[in-house]
Amino acid sequence: MSALTDYSISELQRLYKKREIGPVEVVKAYLQEIDLKDPLVRAFLEVFHESAVMRAGELEEMDPEGMPLYGVPVALKDNISVKDRLLTCGSALLSQYTSPYDATVVHKLIEAGAVIVGKTNLDEFAMGSSTENSAFQVTRNPWDEECTPGGSSGGSAAAVASGMVPVALGSDTGGSIRQPAAFCGITGMKGTYGRVSRYGLVAFASSLDQIGPLTRDINDCAVVMEVLSGHDPKDSTTLESPAPGLVQGIEEGVEGLKVAVPAGIAGWQVEQPIIEFQEEAAAVLQREGATVEAAGLPGMEMSIACYYILATAEASSNLARYDGVRYGNRIEGATLREMYENTRGKGFGEEVKRRILLGTYVLSSGYYDAYYARALKVKSMICESYRKLFKKYDLIVMPTTPSTAFKIGEKSDDPVSMYHSDIFTAWVNIAGLPAVSIPAGISAEGLPIGIQIIASAGEEAKMLRAAGTLERSFSFRRRYLPGADS
């Protein structure tokens, strides 16, 4: 890794303001890393070599003051719209579709001085937990090329973990930022539902989707999250409250906070090293002045079933537009019905078709009350249960995933086992809460382990205080990255 590609966002800003380095040399250094590493990792679907260098050159004529991401290369998951660029969502159906506009988060990044360097791979339409469901390529985990990087934002996570970019954006519907962050040994965050605009994000499940950052550490994550946050008139679900100040509180520590850790965590088929890091996290927080107590997490038994009913129902509705008439590559047929069947049957991959069928089934007249209506009641129960829990506790700290990264192909033929990898993340989306995953350590096999911090709605700043405390104690980058002291 070039020294230029090892700087944090704050270090880059300091050097830029002193004119010791310039955006062009930094962007070129990262593009060289992409050219060198991506043939193996396969994180990128498209790299914007020319426009990235041109944008960096334009920035060199500007004053960096007031631009918190001045000259910072950023990659985007390929379900986020960038004007006049391909927007494939990892699907053969959209392999030739070009976005006519920028997503709100892209506007915010550009205003903050960022340089968009490319689009990253994902499970098709963000439906998956391994980035194996892409129509174009399988992304590999930089820690072990035989393992998945997680999903569905696996391309973004792998790009950051391998040092090809310092920042990438992903989307999180049931854990699709946090799970790959845990598998790849980086930081990944989703805000409170409505904290970040979804305008320009291709919808999977609209009541659950959120855009968020993947970065190398918690400070960079907070900087990017501050840029992305805020009300957007183009997305009526965004919060009216102002974007929170996140960076300044990271160093404040956790003294006086009340933290819940899940009781009976071993009963959820969690690998032993993950349990050990969970226990270490609890011990660190208690040592630093927090009150830590074991607590039952309401609705865990029902959360995966609830999530996969609601998410697939919304997916079946959202994906109805991809029919070869309004959107998508058309495959002709002798009749209109045959054209629909050809387009959707050959254009969608197996996992997307599985979820469309599940969603259509639970919404059908004979089963609506038995499945979808009941899942909505469970969602309401989960939301209310966590409102009550957060009256007693400030934070929940728990594993991000029940296992470390699994082998490519290991769970491809077992969808239920694959869905189980979302057991600790999906309920957070159901409840609309903010959460962040940070790297804690590695397993005996050399694979990263993530710890997740969850706060009540709107309490991202409090959550990042705990994340900062744990990051300083775990010292993951210093202890485990190549060349680090062991």
Task: Tell whether 305 and 241 lie within a shared domain.
Answer: no
Residue 189 located in a structural domain: yes
Active site residues: 77, 152, 176
What pLDDT band is residue 482 in, cutting at 50, 70 and 90?
A: low
Three-class DSSP category at 39: helix
Q: What are the two backbone dihedrals, phi and then psi, of residue 118, each rounded to the nearest 5 degrees?
A: 165, 180
Q: Which of 361, 380, 399 is the last residue of a domain?
A: 380
What pLDDT band is residue 2 in, cutting at 50, 70 and 90?
A: low
Which token pair is 221?
């994550």
Q: Which of 380, 408, 438 is the last residue of a domain?
A: 380
What pLDDT band is residue 417 in, cutting at 50, 70 and 90?
A: confident
| Full residue range of the structural domain in which residue 66 is found | 3-250+469-480
Three-class DSSP category at 77: strand
Q: Which residues contact 173 (CB under 8 A, 6 or more apart)?
A: 126, 152, 204, 205, 208, 209, 210, 311, 429
- Altogether, the residues listed in the chain come to a count of 486
Residue 391 located in a structural domain: no
What pLDDT band is residue 485 in, cutting at 50, 70 and 90?
A: very low
Residue 198 located in a structural domain: yes
Residue 239: predicted pLDDT: 97
Mean pLDDT over 280-303 rounds to 95
Q: Which of 321, 356, 380 is the last residue of a domain?
A: 380
How far, in Å, CA of 173 to CA of 89, rounded? 14
Amino acid letter at 307? Answer: Y
Whether residue 431 has pLDDT greater than 90: yes
Mean pLDDT over 37-48 rounds to 98
Residue 116 located in a structural domain: yes
Q: Does an H or E element contain 382, and which?
A: helix 374-392
Number of domains in the chain: 2
Whether residue 420 has pLDDT greater than 80: yes
Which token pair is 177?
């930022």
Token pair 């033929």 is found at: 413
Where helices occur in 118-175 by DSSP H, the ranges are 154-161
